[in-house]
A and B are shown apart, each in its own frame.
Chain A
Amino acid sequence: MGRYILRRLLQAIPVLLGATLLIYAIVFALPGDPIASMYGDKRAPENVVNAMREQYHLNDPFIVQYWHYISGAFQGNFGRTFAGVEVSSIIASKFQVTLNLAFTALVMEAVIGVGLGLYAALRRGRAQDTMVLASTLVLISVPTLVTGFVLQLLLGVKLKQSTGIEFFPISGVADGLHSYLLPAFVLAGTSIAYLTRLTRTSLAETLRADYIRTAVAKGMPRRRVVGRHALRNALIPLVTYLGADLGTLMGGAVITETIFNLPGIGQELFRSVYERQQPVVVGIVTLLVLVYILANLIVDLLYAVLDPRIRYE
């Protein structure tokens, strides 16, 4: 087990290096001078420019700059912005918001997706099944951009106007978990639909297995057959999907964050791109790549828990 984790982490290093190099190259190619932009319309004093270019290694060739960055990052130093603020402190506060959003979305996805999929699989071929399938088709097709604004208008504004009670805050994170509910649902929308379909297919397949027939023949209650035998065996593809989706949710949160004014990493990245804050941009993307790699590793380790036949050497 330990060896397996070690091997997986070693395999992740080239991916991490490749991804950061790619992002660093794109950020390097961004037009505009970060130091000049700090001074706005005024001309930056020459000695300041020279000192800062020296301090931030801006005069070095691309690959040397990348080396400075990556060797610092491996020692836990993600650099400073051109205003002198630690990148890690900026990212930490923004990261919390996106992490809250993504995890709320992931929980909603798991509960609603598996629930609906279970419901559809047990009523396969009937009207309820068709209804669920049709609604997943709609949920997949309507982009986040649209569900965000429509739900903001209907559940956030109209519902408050007609009842006088604020069910869902529509902007900011001042209300704690409560303010994440609506954005998290919007963010999870497409994933809920995919997970529902996946659960339905996976469970329908498992329900046809011999051991299910045996369990039913033994007189086991239906609840137990579905819960203990069918669902557990159907779970592997679902866990794979959920694990891979955490990265997608965090990386795709920028539109949801913009609609609901959440100060997360998507918005921070957006601003940093325009202020040419290279270390912040690369730091955020590196962090997301790490989340992706770790989530996939955890998924692989969960397989052994779900299916004892799977062993890691």
Chain B
Amino acid sequence: MSDTAAPRARHAKHAKSFSRPPSKPRSGSSRGGRTAGGAKPASLWSDAWQDLRRRPLFIASAVLIGVILLMAVAPGLFTSVDPYDASTCRLGDARQAPSALHWFGTDNQGCDTYARTVYGASNSLLVGLCTTVATVAVGGLLGLVAGFRGGLPDALLSRVTEVFFAIPSVLGALLILAVFRAGTVWTVTLALAVLAWPMTFRIMRAAVITAKSQDYVIAARALGASNRRIMFRHVLPNSMASVIVVATINLGVFIAAEAGLSFLGVGIQSPEISWGLMIADARPRFLEAASPLLFPAAFLSVTVLAFIMLGDAVRDALDPKLR
């Protein structure tokens, strides 16, 4: 079935940029027809999904993200040691090489590096997810309004984003975090979101401007649809693709940024566990004992890699021009 459905679906997507396809049920694919009512806007997504789930890049990144998510939600499944319990650390065992007892060795405090690395996943993912949601909500909504309305709101918001673009983001985040004496997951999220929303805004605004001059929007307007209906039923679903791609890639970027800020000492603070903080803690004795630094670094890299791979795969699936 999938062999015959794919070219048909692809064809439908090309047609989409010219006009909205008529609402006839798609034969051969029951998937598209199941979402009754919302079937028309969903066709791009179900088509992308059909394409996506056959891509090795997507499967690899989805498996990786699944494991990392599980690690964040239930770290107890991966290790029986609770690194938040200080009695599990023995100073006498500091900087041991990896062994059967301590898979990744021990750090400068004699704590188990493996357990700490596993428990570090939750803070990283929390910052990444919350910042992404915040930037998509704020930047996306403002971008939708600015692109759709144009005029004064657009001009004002665009000037404001220019100011934000000119501020170097790492230094800006560092400053915002310095205002709050002790960094937490929430202050890091706030600092990153404040500096990152203009990017989502620009992408959304550009996509909305393209979408609102399409024939199907003019047709909807001619049929008497209200602004609100056009905005949310027609323009928004057709502008989401590029925002979602960038949001997925940025999720990885935010995780890396959190590690960087925690490394500098303004992000998440001890006794909370963060990969960036572990790297900073291991740094003074790095040349004698590299494993307490290298293992969290490896987990951090793989996590960022997984989200960037996912973003690449989603973009390839959503953008037929790149095929």
Contacts and interface: CB of A to CB of B under 8 A. Distances in A.
Contacts, number: 124
Contacts of A153: 286-287, 290
Q: How large is the interface on A (under 10, 10 to 19, 20 to 34, 35 or more residues)?
A: 35 or more
B179 A30 contact: yes
Interface in A25-41: 26-27, 29-31
Tell me the interface secondary structure of chain A in the complex.
helix
A14 interface: yes
A293 B312 CA distance: 30
Contact of B174 (A138, A140, A145, A270): A270
Contact of A137 (B256, B287, B312): B312
Interface string B168-180: 1111101110110
Interface stretch (B22-30, B38-46, B293-301): B293-301
Interface stretch (B69-77, B84-92, B233-241, B257-265): B257-265
Contacts of A143: 256, 259-260, 300-301, 304
* Chain B at the A interface: SS class: helix
Given A18-B159, A142-B304, A142-B305, A269 B256 contact: no
B162 A15 contact: yes
A141 interface: yes
A281 interface: yes
Contacts of B222: none
Contacts of B219: none
B34 interface: no
Contact of B286 (A149, A254, A270, A289): A149
Interface stretch (A60-68, A76-84, A211-219, A243-251): A243-251
A147 B317 CA distance: 30
A273 B175 contact: yes
Interface string A10-23: 00001110110011
A251 B178 CA distance: 17
A3 B179 CA distance: 42
A126 B45 CA distance: 30
Given A30-B178, A270-B264, A157 B287 contact: yes
Interface string B250-289: 0010001001100110000000000010010001001100
Contacts of A240: none
A278 to B, nearest CB: 11
Interface string B134-173: 0000000000000000000000000110110111111110
B176 A26 contact: yes
Ranked 4 nearest A-B pairs via Cβ: A251-B168, A141-B305, A18-B163, A143-B256
Given A15-B163, A145-B263, 9 more contacts: A14-B159, A141-B304, A143-B260, A153-B287, A270-B174, A270-B264, A273-B174, A285-B171, A288-B171
9 contacts: A14-B159, A142-B301, A143-B304, A146-B279, A149-B286, A269-B174, A285-B168, A285-B171, A285-B172
